[in-house]
Structure 1
Amino acid sequence: MQRTVSSPHPSHDHASHRPGTLDHRYRGEHPVRTLGYLLRPDRRRIVIAAAVFVVKHSPVWLLPLITANIIDVVVQHRPEQELWLNAGALLGVLVLNYPMHLLYVRLLGGSVRRMGTVLRDALCRRMQQLSIGYHSRTSAGVLQAKVVRDVESVEQMVQQSADMGLAAVITLIGGLTVIAVRVPSFLPVFLVVVPAAALLVMRLRARLRTHNESFRQEVEQLSARVSEMTSLIPITRAHGLERTALGRVDGSLRQVFTAGLRLDLLNGRFGALAWILLNSLGVTCLAGSALVAYHGWLPITAGDVVMLSAFFTTLTGSMTTLLSLAPIISKGLESVRSAGEVLQAPDLESNAGKDRVDEVQGRIDFEGVGFGYEGVDSPAVEDFTLSARPGETVALVGASGAGKSTVLNLLIGFIRPTSGRILLDGTDMATLDLRSYRRFLSVVPQESILFEGTIRENVTYGMGETDERTVRLALRDANALDFVEDLPDGLSTVVGERGARLSGGQKQRLAIARALIRNPRVLILDEATSALDTRSEALVQEALARLIHGRTVFVVAHRLSTIRAADRIVAMDRGRIAEVGTHEELVGRGGVYTGLQPARSA
């Protein structure tokens, strides 16, 4: 076997870093830092977008000032020219709003969409790097919710924080600046709003985060339940268990309802208290400024009273907007934390810096291999020692729980031995980049996994451009070409989700064609014929005979017809090898293998 040391970031490596991805960067830091990293490539666009927003939003805080100027021109009979200058200035700024708004949307919208794409890309990449053990413990529905719902929440938070938050902040800064210049004596009164609002936010932030996290977990649980329900629909309908299935989902629906209502009530109380407080202060300021002007205590004009009243309404609305953003921001940051649960999950398949596999002869050596699952006292596999020569077919048999599937998972590299070692062509697999090794390996499982696509796409999955002749040869050798040609669209026929439009035998023959087209050196057959009828099994067995020729094959099967032709049969019992030999040899011994025969012949 020839080996080369892989570069840290090979161009074809699916785990390599690309600009803007989050691979291996999230370490539980504050989610705002994660957002900063996500948006860093677009920081110039965001700064320009903010500057554009200031221009487009300026009429909101200029209007009260210009209104005050026009009123004073009328009341004080100042030159008419001032009236037209003020009105013209406001109209000019209003006309600028349209092009500035379109530019702002283009700049910020593009940045937010890119951020969402980068985050989804990072999540999908991390899922590909996480071990099979992680995926067996984590619901696919939960992971789907993180990629779809959580990222959408982050996008909404950034978009709304920019649109509403930036508008509120600019209005506050512009309004307070005008007041400080024109009526500085009233500035302290206006500044009372800011600490009052900040106090509300600080008191409720912790509770908002707790309730958002609870609601998010309930939605993830519901997603897992719905995913489970849809996958079980054929069994549910066949046994008339619709009411039972709905009952399982109803429990999650009630929990989501309760958590959501609790969150809505908290947000409602938060919003109502803020609105009452801010508007009460606004009324107080209006009455106070009018009283000051009426008695002449300070040099305030009629225009100033109108301006202060308008500003307090505007600034109150801005503060209310900022307060209303608190639950949105809290939900978005919780979604960043939710994504971080995947991005910082430590259960990775580590291949960095290990030797690439460029050629495989097919010799496999298990040397005292043991493996135990976490939380289980007894090992699943113990002291497993076996050598498979290139081109040899080895069958693994044994009762349920004997350790057969664990041996296959060790061979694929889904799990690593907790003791002993596995050698590939004389090299310890612990030192190899398993992704490069798997290019020389194919698996035909009990239930072939097809995706929503054409037959051609399923057979050539991951192969890139493959000519039609090669595809047809693989289908022919898999005994699948005849039924494919009878389909209305031939190779372009869409198989449906998980191959729903095909029979079990047809799906299994496509799985064999998928394996054949890759020309693997190591082949794993995991109960490849156990779910088939007699005729389908005969066609699949014939195709398997072509597939295993000249390859190192490990096969797990319950049917005698599948294993009796193996070069060696390994009978396992409680994770250990009980006996090894050919079918005839093991039958003659009358041991563990013989005890399995009645069930296998059925």
Structure 2
Amino acid sequence: IFNMLYNPWSAIIQLIGSLTILVLVDWRLMVGGLLLLPAVWVTHRTWIRRVRPLYKDIRSRRQQIDASTTETFGGIRIVRTFARDKSETGRFTRNTHLLARQQLMVWWSTRIIEVIWDVLIPLASTGLLLYGGWQILQGDLTLGDLMMFLVYLTMLLAPIATIAASAMSFQNNLAGLDRVLDLLEEAKETSIEPATHRFNKQKTRGAVTFDNVSFCYPGTEREVLHDVSFSAPAGQTIALVGRSGAGKTTLCNLVARFYSPTGGKITVDGVDISETDLAAYRRLLGIVEQDVFLFDGTVRENISYGRRDASEQECIDAAVAAAAHEFISELPSGYDTLIGERGVKLSGGQRQRLAIARAILADPKLLILDEATSNLDSESERLIQNSMTQLLAGRTAFVIAHRLSTIMHADLILVLEDGRIIESGTHDELVAQEGVYQRMVLLQTEGYTDNMVDRVS
């Protein structure tokens, strides 16, 4: 970077000094030297317009190849299952071949300018030397003046060549700068207005209220949530049920402030969360999702991700509460076992229990469980039921579940359909209403009964 910035400026200073001395020696020779400047302008104005977009295309292509390769290796099981090895290899080969051709085109473009200058500079020097020799024969110039002029002419041409070479490297870096500026123009997660409130975890109770909340995703006009209103007193469990696409996960995303409502407001302890400090608010949260994400590290590092200062015993207690301690103890290095990228060395149920242990250790005030027990077998689910009760105690929890047996004891059940709350109440109240929730319970009960009959038969 230092050379890229230093060389052009030193060349410009050297160029100005050389021109000044050449004027003092013979202004006509100086004019001849200046004839090279239009050539610099024409060649660079012509080629820079072509080279800079090519550099941008190369960077975009490389990003596309990296993303595609990462995606392929992440889904290697699917690739092998559908025998798409050759197809993915062919796609990678085609993309890298195109990238190589783009890089070759840029290389030739830069070499053309270098060739032009390798021809122009000797021609200019020859022309000025002939003119200076003719001036000596005419008696208008001495041999010493000509030699001095040629020395300074060399000092004039060298910085011009440096500026020409620097211009090409500048285009490569400016293409990178364009991509950085595009990233900086992306919308921020929250507004830049200063927060008017900062939550204190110890003092926060966790009472959540939705007041006529509506939401549509950026770039769309279809509302995913319509005028949703309800109150969740501190420490209560709110269960969200409904068909896929009803808006359950979107509602939880609004609670987590991954998005902001397009209408209405969400308050915690009476404070509009859109006016609070985001980092402080997120420290109140704990999330366990169906698609568990674990980091490439040890078991202990993943459990303590929400509390880096947690002791080893606290990590073990959280794992015991999540029914994960037993299988962790059987791993080669126990809590120091490396689990691989996204926990690839663990089963789905083991990954989910680690995520639950991570949430238990974080001790959140607001808890979001999105199908948190969906990947657990019946035995594992039974083992952590008491732990889940312990996890939910004293916390405001939002639980998304398709297995209604897991939410029967929720303080409030909200039935969503097309982004609206169509039923709300406890399990017993909703079953007595003979509405959508009752039909869902009957469908699952009948399905379970039919399966049992089939097994007996």
Q: Report the TM-score when normalising by structure 1.
A: 0.66
**What residue identity is the alignment partner of 2:258?**
F
Partners of 1:599 and 1:264 lie apart in 2 by: 65
Distance 1:399 1:189, change over 3 A: same
Corresponding position: 1:196 with 2:39? yes
2:326 corresponding residue in structure 1 = 482
Corresponding position: 1:216 with 2:40? no
Partners of 1:272 and 1:393 lie apart in 2 by: 74
Corresponding position: 1:459 with 2:303? yes
Alignment partner of 1:244 out of 80, 87, 96: 87
* Equivalent residues of 2:239, 2:407 under 8 A apart: yes
1:363 corresponding residue in structure 2 = 207
1:333 corresponding residue in structure 2 = 174
* Equivalent residues of 2:294, 2:342 under 8 A apart: yes
Partners of 2:147 and 2:73 lie apart in 1 by: 62
Q: Deviations for 1:417-446, whole angstroms, at most 9, x for unmatched residues?
A: 222222212222233223212211110111
Partners of 2:222 and 2:440 lie apart in 1 by: 23
2:161 corresponding residue in structure 1 = 320
Q: CA deviation at 1:526?
A: 0.8
Distance 1:382 1:248, change over 3 A: farther
Q: Deviations for 1:57-110, whole angstroms, at most 9, x for unmatched residues?
A: xxxxxxxxxxxxxxxxxxxxxxxxxxxxxxxxxxxxxxxxxxxxxxxxxxxxxx
Partners of 2:383 and 2:138 lie apart in 1 by: 103
2:250 corresponding residue in structure 1 = 406
1:429 corresponding residue in structure 2 = 273
Q: Deviations for 1:451-488, whole angstroms, at most 9, x for unmatched residues?
A: 22222222222534332222222222222223333333
Corresponding position: 1:353 with 2:184? no
Q: CA deviation at 1:585?
A: 3.6
1:266 corresponding residue in structure 2 = 109
* Equivalent residues of 2:195, 2:275 under 8 A apart: no
1:299 corresponding residue in structure 2 = 142
Partners of 1:211 and 1:365 lie apart in 2 by: 53
Q: CA deviation at 1:522?
A: 1.1
Q: CA deviation at 1:343?
A: 1.9
SS in 2 for 1:356: coil
Partners of 2:102 and 2:273 lie apart in 1 by: 48
Task: Please show how residues 435-584 of structure 1 align to structure 2 within 5 Å.
Answer: 435-584=279-428
Stretches of structure 1 lacking an aligned partner (at least 5 in a row): 1-157
SS in 1 for 2:83: coil
1:67 corresponding residue in structure 2 = none
**What residue identity is the alignment partner of 1:212?**
Y
**What residue identity is the alignment partner of 2:107?**
D
**What residue identity is the alignment partner of 1:161?**
M
* Equivalent residues of 1:218, 1:259 under 8 A apart: no
Q: CA deviation at 1:307?
A: 6.0
**What residue identity is the alignment partner of 1:364?**
V
Partners of 1:550 and 1:275 lie apart in 2 by: 78
* Equivalent residues of 2:306, 2:358 under 8 A apart: no
1:105 corresponding residue in structure 2 = none
SS in 2 for 1:566: coil
Q: CA deviation at 1:292?
A: 4.5
Q: Deviations for 1:492-516, whole angstroms, at most 9, x for unmatched residues?
A: 3322222222222222222122211
CA RMSD between the two structures: 3.0
* Equivalent residues of 1:475, 1:513 under 8 A apart: yes
Q: Deviations for 1:101-124, whole angstroms, at most 9, x for unmatched residues?
A: xxxxxxxxxxxxxxxxxxxxxxxx
Corresponding position: 1:416 with 2:257? no
Distance 1:400 1:173, change over 3 A: same
Q: Deviations for 1:139-169, whole angstroms, at most 9, x for unmatched residues?
A: xxxxxxxxxxxxxxxxxxx344235435644
Partners of 2:328 and 2:285 lie apart in 1 by: 25
Q: CA deviation at 1:250?
A: 4.9
Partners of 2:299 and 2:268 lie apart in 1 by: 33
Partners of 2:306 and 2:361 lie apart in 1 by: 11
Partners of 1:231 and 1:505 lie apart in 2 by: 19
Partners of 1:533 and 1:243 lie apart in 2 by: 36
Corresponding position: 1:235 with 2:78? yes
Q: Deviations for 1:212-266, whole angstroms, at most 9, x for unmatched residues?
A: 3333333333333233223222321233222333455455445534543443343
**What residue identity is the alignment partner of 2:337?**
T
Partners of 2:325 and 2:255 lie apart in 1 by: 31
**What residue identity is the alignment partner of 1:554?**
F
* Equivalent residues of 1:512, 1:543 under 8 A apart: no
* Equivalent residues of 1:357, 1:433 under 8 A apart: yes
1:344 corresponding residue in structure 2 = 185
Distance 1:561 1:250, change over 3 A: farther
Q: Deviations for 1:160-183, whole angstroms, at most 9, x for unmatched residues?
A: 423543564465456556656667
Q: CA deviation at 1:407?
A: 0.5
**Greater Cα shift, 322-331 or 271-280:** 271-280
Task: Please show how residues 105-254 of structure 1 align to structure 2 within 5 Å.
Answer: 158-162=1-5, 164-166=7-9, 168-169=11-12, 172=15, 175-176=18-19, 186-250=29-93, 252-253=95-96
Partners of 1:183 and 1:226 lie apart in 2 by: 63
Distance 1:534 1:544, change over 3 A: same
Q: CA deviation at 1:398?
A: 1.1
Q: CA deviation at 1:330?
A: 1.4
SS in 2 for 1:443: strand
Partners of 1:436 and 1:277 lie apart in 2 by: 64
Q: Report the TM-score when normalising by structure 2.
A: 0.85
Alignment partner of 2:222 out of 373, 378, 383: 378
* Equivalent residues of 1:292, 1:298 under 8 A apart: yes
* Equivalent residues of 2:7, 2:162 under 8 A apart: yes
Partners of 2:328 and 2:317 lie apart in 1 by: 12
Partners of 1:415 and 1:563 lie apart in 2 by: 26
Distance 1:287 1:441, change over 3 A: same
Q: Deviations for 1:283-321, whole angstroms, at most 9, x for unmatched residues?
A: 3234444554567551113xx666655665565444233
* Equivalent residues of 1:365, 1:387 under 8 A apart: yes
Q: CA deviation at 1:556?
A: 0.7
Alignment partner of 1:389 out of 233, 239, 242: 233
Partners of 1:230 and 1:317 lie apart in 2 by: 50
Identity, in percent, stands at 35
Partners of 2:110 and 2:234 lie apart in 1 by: 67
Partners of 1:538 and 1:250 lie apart in 2 by: 50
* Equivalent residues of 2:306, 2:361 under 8 A apart: no
